[in-house]
Amino acid sequence: ISDPDWWRGAVIYQIYPRSFQDSNADGIGDLSGIIHRLPHVASLGVDAIWLSPFYTSPMLDFGYDVSNYRDVDPMFGSIGDFDALVERAHDLGIRVIVDLVISHSSDQHPWFKESRSSRDNPRAGWYVWADAKPDGSPPNNWLSIFGGPAWEWDGQRMQYYLHNFLSQQPDLNFHNPDVRKALLDVTRFWLDKGVDGFRMDTVNFYFCDAELRDNPPLPDASRSDKIAPSVNPYNFQDHHYDKNRPENLEFLKEFRLLLNEYDAVTSVGEVGDAQRGGEIQAAYTSGGDKLHMAYDFDLLSNEFPTGERVQAAIAKSVGLGPDSWPCWAYSNHDVVRHASRWNLSDPAQRVYMALLLSLRGTVCLYQGEELGLTEAYIAFEDLQDPYGKRFWPRFKGRDGCRTPMPWNSDLSNGGFSDGKPWLPVAMEHIHSAVETQDADAKSILVFYRRMIEFRRAHRALLKGRQLPVEADQSYISFIREHDNARVFCAFNLSDEDRGVTMPDGAWRIDRAAPFRAEEDGDAVTLPPWQALFAVVG
Ligand code: TEU
Ligand code: CA
């Protein structure tokens, strides 16, 4: 359990606690519910879970607005429940990664309440406060990702404060050494509780420009709507001064030294940057003295992942340098579920899943992905996400991927809750329930398990280098190589037969993989949406 490199090649299962399993019929998932469902997680063969926030919070951004960094929100349970969860997970061989949301706190955090009370209290400088311009307007042109200016006027201090997200999520002032110390202490608190790593929310937003300089406009050509919709004016600015500041890297070195005091702990940073992602990721992960991994956004995009696009993403990650280790995901709690985003049929989902599990890197699976869930439709009356409410109807928000897990075929709530769920369980998800798929040897769930097991059986797939062979619109092949072990991987991303050009050498198709490849003498053909894995010797 103390392999310091366990995270390289690991499969991490992301749990969104509100929507996993409710244990007390209030319609909201909780930690006891997660404990109850850990055997399902273990059955997948994953290495770790990443828990989205469960800390005390007014829940305006559903936990990404923390009002106490050292406690569990009563809605989710108690700190004792958390301890029990870690113990149970570890017993099952599952490591626990928690979400660290320290770029901003809730406006209900005692630190912020004190900070806003006057200009000379002990925590006056803990958040980013600035005077209005002479005409009363905000200090500069920075925008909030969730809409409007990044500055909110406070009538008591007669100053503006900075918020990159909701106005109820004020940005902590990392330029203040007491703030940095307090946040490292929070980190130590969770390390002492035995967590195995951190997913670091908005890690490149920690520091802002000390001089609060205006962001330049972004030339049309480099605008991107990879994650957020282009209806959001935030995407028309070059975020040069409100994020990606060089001071972030210095802080992360300090952070890493703290992690290094503990055994086999990892970190994966949400280093989002639509314009210069690769460059930023390299800076955050190089040298082995900052983040362990950068969470890669390339495959979370709306753009269909053709063989060429996947090859480009791999090439970029390799180009980041020898120490750099990517962390891939197709789905999470912020984006449209990939089955819908890319409009994948059942067989297409299977081949894409196998491709994800064959890439050099660590993989994050999002709850429900293993069931092949599609994006749920949420009516405006049911909408909960503040981001969605702001940009409706051009952008419908993030609720469609946050609906509760279907556990059984119970038509009311699929076994998620005995009460009224905070978001409706999607009726079309009920037939994909865990219990139903468990009993069906041909289900996508069983397929996921087999593919994860196949990956685990091949060290080259876990840790190996990745050598490109071929890539085009509807096909990709490459070799994974670790020491003497080599695996040739080929994926037919189309609904037509595809001839496979095997690389030189004595390759033997590994039939343990849950796919079909046809051999006729030397000619190898992949039927539609099939993959092939071959080993040497
Ligand atoms: O997301 C950071 C982020 O950049 C998001 O705005 C993302 O672009 C958007 O959600 C895509 O639709 C993190 C969390 O993952 C997200 O859930 C939080 O709302 C956000 O930070 C604020 O803490
Ligand atoms: Ca509950």
Give residue limits of the domains in the chain.
11-103+177-453, 465-536
Half-sphere exposure of 509 (CA within 13 A, CB side): 21
- Give the Å distance between the CA of 334 and the centre of ligand 1: 6
Instruction: Give 26 Cα–ligand 2 centroid separation in angstroms.
Output: 5
Rg (CA), the chain: 23
Confidence tier at 161 by pLDDT (50, 70, 90): very high
Q: How far is the CA of 30 from the centre of ligand 2 (A)?
A: 5
Can you list the positions of beta strands (E) in 213-344? Answer: 266-269, 293-295, 326-329
pLDDT, mean of residues 460-483: 97
Strand 11-15 and strand 362-366: the pairing is parallel
Q: How far apart are CA 319 and CA 321, in angstroms?
A: 5
- Superfamily covering domain 11-103+177-453: Glycosidases (3.20.20.80)
Residue 459 predicted with pLDDT over 70: yes
**404 contacts: CB under 8 Å, gap ≥ 6:** 19, 20, 22, 29, 413, 414, 416, 417, 421, 423, 425
User: Are 354 and 444 in contact, with CB atoms under 8 Å apart?
Assistant: no
Count of alpha carbons within 13 Å of 94, Cβ hemisphere only? Answer: 30
Cβ contact 269:293 at 8 Å = yes
Average pLDDT over residues 371-398: 96
Whether 145 lines ligand 1, by a CB cut-off of 6 Å, is yes
* Structure-model confidence comparison of residues 91 and 412, the more confident one: 91
Ligand 1 contact via 334 beta carbon (within 6 Å): yes
Return the residue matching tokens 């753009």: 303
Instruction: Report how far residue 290's alpha carbon sits from residue 249's, in angstroms, rounded to the nearest whole number.
Output: 7
What is the pLDDT at residue 149?
A: 98
Helix axis angle, 31-44 to 79-91, nearest 10°? 10
Cα gap 217→141, rounded to integer Å: 10
DSSP state of 202: T
* Whole-prediction pTM: 0.98
Tell me the C-alpha distance between 13 and 51, whole Å: 9
Tens digits of residue pLDDT in 15-25: 999 999 999 99
The pLDDT value recorded for residue 438 is 98
Residue type, position 511, single letter: R
Residue to probe by mutation, ligand 1, list 143, 162, 165, most atoms within 8 Å of CB: 165
Task: Identify the pLDDT of residue 218.
Answer: 86
Determine whether the shortest distance from the Cβ of 227 to ligand 1 is under 6 A: yes
Positions annotated as catalytic residues are: 201, 261
309 Cβ contact list (under 8 Å, min separation 6): 298, 303
Question: For position 481, what pLDDT does the model report?
Answer: 97
pLDDT category of residue 222 using cuts at 50, 70 and 90: low
What's the CATH code, domain 465-536? Answer: 2.60.40.1180
Mean model confidence pLDDT for the chain: 96
Rounded Cα–Cα distance for residues 214 and 528 (Å): 52
* Residue 228 near ligand 1, beta carbon < 6 Å: yes
Contact status, residue 364 vs residue 452, Cβ threshold 8 Å: no
Taking the C-alpha atoms of residue 134 and residue 469, their distance in angstroms, rounded to an integer, is 61
What is the DSSP secondary structure assignment for residue 187, as one 8-state letter? H
Q: ∠ at Cα 301 (296, 307), nearest 5°?
A: 85
User: Which residues lie across from 339 on neighbouring strands?
Assistant: none
Instruction: Tokens for 171, please give them.
Output: 């940005």
What pLDDT, on a 0 to 100 scale, did the predictor assign at position 224?
A: 59
- Report the nearest atom of ligand 1 relative to the CA of 104: 23
Q: Are strands 48-51 and 95-100 parallel, antiparallel or unpaired?
A: parallel
Which residues are 200's β-sheet partners? 100, 269
Predicted interface score ipTM higher than 0.85 = yes
d(CA 463, CA 325): 10
| Segment 390-443, tens digit of pLDDT | 999 989 999 999 999 999 999 999 999 999 999 999 999 999 999 999 999 999
**SS3 state of residue 212:** coil
Query: What percentage of the chain has pLDDT greater than the value 90?
Result: 92
> Considering the chain, what percentage of its residues have pLDDT values greater than 70?
98
32-36, 226-230, 453-457, 509-513 — which is least confidently predicted? 226-230
CA quadruple 35, 39, 41, 42: dihedral, nearest 10: 120
Could you read off the pLDDT of 176-218 as tens digits, one per residue? 999 999 999 999 999 999 999 999 999 999 999 999 999 999 8
- The helix (H) or strand (E) run that includes residue 354 is helix 346-356
